Chains A and B, each alone.
Chain A
Amino acid sequence: MSADPFHLAWFAADGFGVKSWGKTFSGRGGQDWADPALWIDLAQALERARFDFIIIEDSSYMPDTYGGTSEAYLKTATATPKMDPSVLAPLMSHATKKIGIVPTMSVSEHHPYGLARTINTLDHMSQGRTGWNIVTGSNDNAAKNYGLDDWLEHDERYDMADEFFDLACRLWTSWEEDAVVLDEATGTWGDFTKVHTVDFQGTYFSSRGPLNAPQSPQGLPTFVQAGGSPRGKKFDARAANAIISGVEGGPAKMKAFRDDIRAQAALAGRSPDDVKVLYLISPIIAETDEEAWAKRRRQTEFAEAHPEIGLLHLSRHSRIDFSQWDLDEVIPEGTTTNGHRQQLEQCIGKTPRQILREGFGQGNFEIVGSPDTVAAQLDEAMEEVGGDGFLIASRDLNRRYISEIADGLVPALQRRGVVREEYSHDTFRDNLLAF
Chain B
Amino acid sequence: MSRPFHLAWFTSFKPPAWRSPWGGVSGEEWMTGEYYVSMVKQLERAGFDFIMFEDSSLVSEALGGTAEMDLKHGLHSPKLDPFPLLPVLARETEKIGLIATGSTSFYPPFILARVMATMDHLTGGRVGWNVVTSSQDIAAQNYGIDKLLEHDERYVQAQEFLDVVKALWDSWEPGAVVMDRETGHYADHTKVSPIHHEGTYFKVRGPLNMPAGPQGHPVICQAGGSPAGRDFAAQHANAIVATNPLLPRMKEYADDIRARAERLGRDPDEIRVLFHLSPVVGETEEEAWSVWRRTYGMEDPLQVEQTLAILAAVTSIDWKQFDLDEPFPQGLTTNGHQSVLDDLMARNVGKTLRESLTERAQMGPQTVGTVAQVADRMEQIVEDTGIDGFLIRAETGLSHTRRYIDSICFGLAPELQRRGLVRTDFPHATFRDNLLAF
A148 to B205, CA, bound (A): 9
Does A182 touch B at the CB level, under 8 Å?
yes
Contact with B along A55-84 (1 / 0, CB 8 A): 000011110000001110111110011111
Closest to B171 in A: A62
Known: A87-B118, A182-B18. A117 touches B81 (CB 8 A): yes
Does A30 touch B at the CB level, under 8 Å?
yes
Contact with B along A162-194 (1 / 0, CB 8 A): 000000000000000001001010011111100
Residue pair A74, B186 in contact (C-beta under 8 Å):
yes
A154 to B110, CA, bound (A): 23
Q: Which of B93-127 contact A (CB under 8 A)?
A: 106-108, 110-111, 114-115, 117-119, 121-122
Residue pair B189, A70 in contact (C-beta under 8 Å):
yes
Contact for A75 among B19, B187, B203, B210, CB less than 8 A: B187
Residue pair A122, B205 in contact (C-beta under 8 Å):
no
On B, residues with C-beta under 8 Å from A are 13, 15, 18-19, 27-28, 31-33, 56-59, 66-68, 70-74, 76-81, 83-88, 91, 106-108, 110-111, 114-115, 117-119, 121-122, 138, 141-144, 176, 179, 181, 184-189, 192, 194, 202-211, 213, 302, 305-306
Besides the known contacts A30-B179, A84-B115, 4 further A-B residue pairs in the complex with CB atoms under 8 A apart: A17-B210, A75-B189, A110-B111, A187-B302
Residue pair A71, B189 in contact (C-beta under 8 Å):
yes
Residue pair B27, A60 in contact (C-beta under 8 Å):
no
A311–chain B nearest beta-carbon distance, Å: 16
Closest to A113 in B: B142
Binds B, one of A204-212, A256-264, A375-383: A204-212
Known: A114-B106, A120-B80, A192-B67. A80 touches B210 (CB 8 A): yes
Question: Contacts of A113 on B, CB cut-off 8 Å?
Answer: 57, 106, 142-144
Residue pair A121, B121 in contact (C-beta under 8 Å):
no
A-B contact pairs, 28 of them (CB 8 A): A35-B121, A60-B110, A62-B209, A69-B189, A83-B121, A87-B118, A87-B122, A88-B118, A90-B85, A94-B91, A109-B108, A113-B106, A118-B83, A120-B80, A121-B13, A121-B85, A125-B85, A127-B32, A145-B204, A147-B204, A187-B305, A192-B72, A195-B67, A206-B141, A210-B59, A213-B31, A213-B78, A216-B31
B206–chain A nearest beta-carbon distance, Å: 7
State the interface size on chain A (CB cutoff 8 A). 74
Contact for A146 among B28, B78, B108, CB less than 8 A: B108
Residue pair B189, A74 in contact (C-beta under 8 Å):
yes
Residue pair A121, B78 in contact (C-beta under 8 Å):
no
Question: Contacts of A294 on B, CB cut-off 8 Å?
Answer: none
A426–chain B nearest beta-carbon distance, Å: 13
Residue pair B79, A91 in contact (C-beta under 8 Å):
no
Residue pair A31, B78 in contact (C-beta under 8 Å):
no
On A, residues with C-beta under 8 Å from B are 16-18, 21-22, 30-31, 34-36, 59-62, 69-71, 73-77, 80-84, 86-91, 94, 109-111, 113-114, 117-118, 120-122, 124-125, 127, 141, 144-148, 179, 182, 184, 187-192, 195, 205-210, 212-214, 216, 306
A109 to B209, CA, bound (A): 15
A152 to B150, CA, bound (A): 31
Known: A86-B115, A125-B32. A70 touches B205 (CB 8 A): no
Closest to A103 in B: B84
Question: Contacts of B142 on A, CB cut-off 8 Å?
Answer: 113, 207-209
Known: A94-B91, A110-B111, A209-B142. A31 touches B79 (CB 8 A): no
Residue pair A114, B118 in contact (C-beta under 8 Å):
no
Residue pair B74, A30 in contact (C-beta under 8 Å):
no
A59–chain B nearest beta-carbon distance, Å: 7
B200–chain A nearest beta-carbon distance, Å: 12
Known: A125-B31, A145-B205, A212-B77. A18 touches B84 (CB 8 A): no
A431 to B22, CA, bound (A): 37
Known: A189-B18, A189-B72, A205-B144. A146 touches B32 (CB 8 A): no
A91 to B33, CA, bound (A): 12
